[in-house]
Amino acid sequence: MAGFSHLGGYVQPVLDLSTLNSPQREAVLHSGGPLVVFAGAGSGKTRVITFRVANLISEHGVAPWRILAVTFTNKAAGEMRERLLGLLGDQGGDVRVGTFHATCARLLRRHGEVVGLSKDFTIYDDQDQLALVKRVLRDSGLDEKRYQPKAMAGRINRAKQEVQGPEDIETPDAWSEVVRRVYTAYEERLHQANALDFGDLIYRTVRALESSETFRAEVVGRFSHVLVDEFQDTNHAQFRLVRLLAEGHRNLCVVGDDDQSIYRWRGADRRNILDFRASFPDATLVKLEQNYRSTQRILRAANAVIARNQDREPKELWTDNPEGDAIFVVRTMDERDEARLVVRGVRELMSQGQRLSDVVVFYRTHAQSRVIEEALRGANIAYRIVGGMRFYDRAEVKDLLGYLRVMTNPADDMSLLRIINTPTRGIGKTTINRLLDRAAQEGRGLWDLLQDDDVIAQFGSAARKRLGAFRALMRALRDVAASGAPLGEIGAELVNQSGYADMLRHDDTPEADARFQNIQELVASMDEFERERSDATLPEFLENVTLQTSADEQSGGDRVTLMTVHAAKGLEFPVVMVTGLEEQVFPFKGTDPWEDPDELEEERRLAYVAFTRAEQRLVLSFAAVRRIFGQQRVGIPSRFLTELPSEDVEWIGGRTSSPAPAPAREERHYEPDESYVDYGEGSDLAELEGLRRGMQVRHPKFGVGEVKEVAPGSPPRVSVRFPGWGTRKIIASYLEPA
């Protein structure tokens, strides 16, 4: 990839660009100004970004620390750093690489004082935010049943994604007025606690860049080139941030794929990449369409599905890879039969020499995983779930992290509330509520109140004693944190002094043993963090933990991977199995995709992402009958299956659905369905013989139904009963045989 030459005592990397294809090379060699790279799945976008950075340094003399590369996950950032080290040697470590949130946190800690931010602020995660919203609702006398905390927190987050403060919230109705009121109080409490939530990290950075010339000069002047990965996943605040960071030099390179935009529900706006040239009319456009991951058949299938979307940048993946195996589409009887298919498929692959870790099973919703898990456990096949409860989300770990936060930032009221009676030390709700009321009345923090002997003296003798003991404990722990001791020793001292270890030792249950192992693992992680960073501090450790995402978690051992399609971005596997490919499951009928084209296009992008994770084999399955969300539904094969190229697909079990599952059998379930008649695309039932009562027909909106009555006429009309829709009168030409 790169060699090194010595020029004037300076080690200069020499890049080998011969391994790049023509569009990749064009993106790498682009000299300056705005650049948008549409990078299809498996087209080597990370390679392009890292080579471009290396080229800027080796050929244009750009200082590494003046290049900022931004991505979405710590995993992606880590991979980028490793590649840069391979290309540039030690210089690669000087490139500023990080997630949006980590980058903004770093900028705010370094320069935030010019806009009134303390550098030792705490970062609140989603649970902390929810707890603070609940507290604001309580102190404001608002009913949580009427004003749900999660909905209120979500509204605040959306406001920050749009770079809106409380004063920007329009109040056309009573709900909006309450939102503004709660948002205002919420921000006041954050300020009082010297804390920022996740949304603040980007929101505050954008506001500071737009309002403070000093902050803008200090931050923008640091970088001469900005590169952004996965640009299709950016929201409004992130787009404004990127545009501000590139202000002046305009050396902005964004890389992404609108066909892989699948996070609209959390604020991502693919218009940011589609309309990039509207914001930067002089931008150069490059398309990466050569795929290095998948077989030709897999790519043809993915292209056929995504091509149905109207609102996209035209592109078509191609590859020099072999044709590969046919894509299997399997009709199963029900969801348990589908789970047995997964087990049989995994066993067959193992017999062929595949590793369990080569296989991933995708599903559209978490609810679909249960029966698959049960089947795998029953077959003694190891598996892991991506997107399950993270280590740092476990109660005992969150408790100790709460202690560590207060040890570094005693103004953090939310963490203080979490630990004040954990382990149980007799400080009850009445005492805590009195403290909260006093804090609200006087505008003081809880730790400030606890330091006030006059406040403590107003409680009864038992409460005074317990509050005094807690105060003494936290003072001692704060001394430990400030002592300069190694992080692992600080963690071990916390576990012992807090009483947490004793509490678990006295609970002689397997659950307590597991929890004790988790707190030991936390202490080990603190020690490991410091060994990796010789000058690491406790606030840096806490920041690193808070910024972790589920996508960053690794699971060792050889095991099958289970995950929703939403968790699949950036991953690849030799074998991909996509389950639940039925109408109302995938595409999912949350909001009606038939009536909302944007929703349906997002679902099609999800299918595209799922299919393009596959390197060698792609297996797609649907069930004739599925019980999901407590209801049994007739399974209509997903439209995405009918959009696949027929020459690349092998159907097993037929294409029709049955109103009831066939009896379970031990032998192979997937005999050809003799009842299936392929009438061809565009068939008109008005021209078919045998239209009669009891016949199964399919409608593009209502799915499969049963004919109740045929009314001759011009045009002929048919009364059809559709599950979930009732009986509808349909013009016969809109129906086709099921």
- pLDDT (tens digit, 9 = 90+) per residue, 635-671? 889 999 999 999 999 999 866 543 333 333 333 333 3
Q: Region 423-440: what's the mean pLDDT? A: 91
Q: Is 164 a catalytic residue?
A: no
Per mean pLDDT, which range of 255-264, 402-411, 484-493, 591-600 is the poorest? Answer: 591-600
Which is catalytic among the residues 45, 207, 515, 626? Answer: 45
Where residue 231 falls (left for φ over 0; alpha for ψ -120 to 50; beta otherwise) is alpha
Range scoring the smallest mean pLDDT among 242-246, 551-555, 689-693, 717-721 = 551-555
* Residue 679: per-residue pLDDT: 24
The answer on pLDDT for 9 being more than 80 is no
Q: Tally DSSP H helices, then E strands, for the chain.
A: 27, 24
Mean pLDDT of 440-467: 92
Percent of the chain residues topping a pLDDT of 70: 86
CA within 13 Å, CB half, 566: 16
572 labelled catalytic: no
Among 136-145, 202-211, 241-250, 548-557, the range scoring the smallest mean pLDDT is 548-557
pLDDT tens profile 265-283: 888 999 999 999 999 999 9
pLDDT on residue 584? 86
Two structure tokens written together for 236: 């409004």
pLDDT number for residue 174? 86
Tell me which of 229, 259, 335, 615 is the catalytic residue. 229
496-511: pLDDT as tens digits: 999 888 888 766 555 6
Mean of pLDDT values over 403-412: 95
Per-residue model confidence (pLDDT) at position 478: 95
Angle at the Cα of 81 (from 76 to 86), degrees rounded to 5? 125
- Mean pLDDT score of the chain: 85
Can 517 be counted among the known catalytic residues? no
Question: Do 293 and 43 touch, CB atoms closer than 8 A?
Answer: no
Closest CA to 294 of 574, 649, 24, 650: 574
Asked whether residue 203 carries a pLDDT value surpassing 60, the answer given is: yes
What is the average pLDDT across 684-703?
63
Instruction: Give yes or no for residue 330 having a pLDDT over 80.
Output: yes
What digits encode the pLDDT tens for the residues 550-570? 445 444 579 999 998 998 988
DSSP annotation string for 635-698? PPBPHHHHTS-GGGEEEES-S---SSPPPP-SS------TT-----TT--GGG-TT--TT-EEE
Active site residue 229: yes
What would the pLDDT profile of 146-156 be if each residue is shown by its tens digit? 888 888 998 99
pLDDT of residue 694: 80
Q: Which of 299-308, 622-631, 713-722 has the highest mean pLDDT?
A: 299-308
| Residue with more model confidence, 176 or 241 | 241
Across the range 401-429, mean pLDDT stands at 93
- DSSP for 481-540, written as a single string: HHTT--HHHHHHHHHHHTSHHHHHHTS-SHHHHHHHHHHHHHHHHHHHHHHHSTT--HHH
Q: Residue 237 carries which side chain, given as an amino acid letter?
A: A
- Cα–Cα distance measured from residue 13 to residue 16, given in angstroms and rounded to the nearest whole number: 10
The whole-number average pLDDT for the span 1-14 is: 51
- pTM, two decimal places: 0.74
For residue 52, what are the CA distances in angstroms to 272, 418, 636?
Answer: 22, 47, 47
pLDDT for 391 beyond 70: no
Is residue 177's pLDDT more than 80?
A: yes
What's the gap between Cα 581 and its chain centre? 22
pLDDT above 90 (res 597): no
Torsion angle, CA of 75/81/82/83, rounded to 10 degrees?
110
Task: Tell me what the mean pLDDT of segment 329-349 comes to.
Answer: 94
Q: Do β-strands 726-731 and 717-722 pair in parallel, antiparallel, or remain unpaired? A: antiparallel
- Confidence check: pLDDT of 3 > 60: no
More confident residue, 188 or 590: 188
Structure token pair of residue 495: 């576990």
Catalytic residue among 125, 128, 230, 602: 230
Out of 207, 312, 604, 613, which one is annotated catalytic? 613
Among candidate residues 103, 260, 368, 546, the one labeled active-site is: 260
- Tens digit of each residue's pLDDT (9 = 90 or more) over 13-63: 667 889 999 999 999 999 889 999 999 999 999 999 999 999 999 999 999
Q: Mean pLDDT throughout 461-475?
A: 94
Residue 719: its H or E element: strand 717-722
Q: What is the pLDDT of residue 242?
A: 96
